[in-house]
Structure 1
Amino acid sequence: MRGSQTMETCPDIFELSDGNFAVMGTDATQDLDALLPPGVTRADGERIVVITRETLLRAKRDIPDA
């Protein structure tokens, strides 16, 4: 259980066995795609995912510095 006090689904960040990280959040691609800053692009296979500030701050302590 990573932050969910109700056992419901919720945003999360977790490390994969290959050292990469996966993010579960709300898909906001349709709403935010046109609002990307100048010079920022998104590949066809990428999605814009929103997670809460609390989710990222809780994950911070588990993300290695190097």
Structure 2
Amino acid sequence: MSQIVRRLGVAPRYRGSATGATCPDIFELADGNFAVIGTDATDSLDAQLPADAARADDERIVVITRETLVRAKADIPDA
């Protein structure tokens, strides 16, 4: 398994998560992939996936806040 290299965007506490109860986050990994912490919404969204989308048994659909992604935008590489 790859290691976390850096956070994209700002820490959850700067997005209003003072208690740790809701801490969506995005991390870049050493292998170039990304890890996302979000709310598991697989049960509610799986049936709504478009026909050309699929989810493997070991994959989950997670939801992050819009603010989490917007605040990470500047840190996401173009290539």
TM range (shorter): 0.7 to 0.9
What's 2:58 paired with? 45
What's 2:24 paired with? 11
1:56 aligns with 2:52: no
Q: What TM-score do the two structures reach when normalised by structure 1?
A: 0.87
Moved over 3 A (4+): none
Q: What TM-score do the two structures reach when normalised by structure 2?
A: 0.74
Root-mean-square deviation (CA, aligned residues, Å) is: 1.6
Seq. identity, %: 70
Shift of 1:16: 1.0
Q: Which runs of 5+ in 1 are unaligned?
A: none
- Rounded to whole Å, the distance in 1 between the matches of 2:19 and 2:48 is 33
Q: Which runs of 5+ in 2 are unaligned?
A: 1-9
Most deviating of 19-28 and 2-11 = 2-11
State how many pairs are aligned: 66
